Amino acid sequence: MNRTRRLRKTENIRRLVRENKLTIDDLIYPLFIEEGENIETEIVSMPGIKRFSLDTISKELDEVVALDIPAVLLFGIPSKKDEVGSETWNDDGIMQKAVRFIKKNYPGLYVITDVCFCEYTSHGHCGIIHDNDVDNDATLPNIAKQVISHAKAGVDMVAPSGMMDGMIATIREALDNTGFPNLPIMSYAVKYSSAFYGPFRDAADSAPTFGDRRTYQMDPSNRDEGMREATFDDQEGADILMVKPALSYLDIIRDLKNNFDRPIACYNVSGEYAMIKAAAAKGWIDEERVMMEALLSMKRAGADIIITYFAKDVAKILLKK
């Protein structure tokens, strides 16, 4: 008889044969930085997550560094918006100020910027609007201006999330031609038009004022299309390929892991976070165990990097162990 239970008998043997392990090294922590002063606002739909202004964020960054979390992903919330999101390439904009602040005061922390327009446009879409839709090719030059501005501010990596066709080639060319050939790109390569983003739009003040994003984000029904999207970004020069969301798209994470010789990231998004927090608050689940199991499933599926609002909670647990 095959007795697979032999290797489950004690905790120590289970540790020895464990195939996947979650570590602090796997984690990126998202941060929301709002233009203004004395801002520290809890996001109601994301318990434990806040918006900070630069004069209040040091306590949060101190904790991130103390927990040895290697990287943060920044989202900027500007004080003014316009039709094209011009604050994204303002060298004195909130994202640029945040990068300079963190790199000056926390030089060992790896800083990644989200590259998009939805928080900065008056209409909440991810580019220039023509005929009630995002004009892909008209948006690309503005993406280039945005990443060059982030690069000049001193960012360590850019992460374009807008799902514009050709955006990775545009970014790579822009960076190479302006003296930043070594700045890496983490592409939101396979990003679905998902209902799991709901709480994020409260956090980043980025909900569209009309329509939705289904003309540029992917249909959740499609798996093969994800491979095409990732292939294009790989060919255009992405250094890391990301899948977003994570928990309902573990098959896509595994597809990318099996087919690309690049690091694979996934984004454990706001809705996934909020569901666990809400159920735990009701006493329906064990928050710590469910959180760790969910993140481990992403690692098991093939993710090398996990962007998660749980990063601090996970780090505390792992350091305690």
Distance (Å, whole) CA 273 – CA 133: 30
Pairing outcome for strands 305-308 and 264-268: parallel
* Neighbour-count burial of 64, counting CB atoms closer than 10 A to its CB (0-12 exposed, 13-18 middle, 19+ buried): buried
List per-block mean pLDDT (blocks of 10 residues) for the chain, which spans 321 residues.
94 94 98 96 93 97 98 93 80 96 98 90 73 81 93 97 89 97 97 87 62 75 96 97 97 98 97 96 98 98 98 97 79
pLDDT at position 48: 94
- Decide: 51 and 43 in contact? Cβ < 8 Å: yes
Q: Check if the beta carbon of residue 188 is closer than 8 Å to that of residue 116.
A: no
Domains detected in the chain: 20-320 (3.20.20.70)
pLDDT of residue 204: 54
**Cα three-residue angle 109-198-268, rounded to 5 degrees:** 40
Query: Strands 40-42 and 50-52, how do they pair?
Result: antiparallel
CA distance 271 to 248: 11
Sign of CA dihedral 59, 60, 63, 68: negative
Instruction: Check whether the bond before 245 is cis (ω within 30° of 0).
Output: yes
Q: Would you state the pLDDT for residue 52?
A: 97
Tell me the C-alpha distance between 256 and 110, whole Å: 24
- Say if CB 186 and CB 239 are below 8 A apart: yes
**What is the C-alpha to C-alpha distance for residues 189 and 231, in angstroms, rounded to an integer?**
9
- Residues with catalytic annotation? 191, 244
Binding residues for Zn(2+): 116, 118, 126
Instruction: State residue 89's pLDDT score.
Output: 83
Cα 312 to Cα 68: distance, rounded to the nearest angstrom: 9
Query: Which helix (H) or strand (E) element contains residue 77?
Result: strand 71-77
End-to-end CA distance of the chain: 36
Residue 184 burial (CB < 10 Å; 0-12/13-18/19+)?
A: middle
Which residues participate in the annotated binding site for 5-aminolevulinate?
201, 213, 270, 309
What span, in angstroms and rounded, lies between the C-alpha atoms of 271 and 41?
A: 19
Annotated binding site for Mg(2+): 229
Q: Give residue 192's region: left, alpha or beta (phi > 0; psi -120 to 50).
A: beta
At residue 212, the pLDDT reads: 61
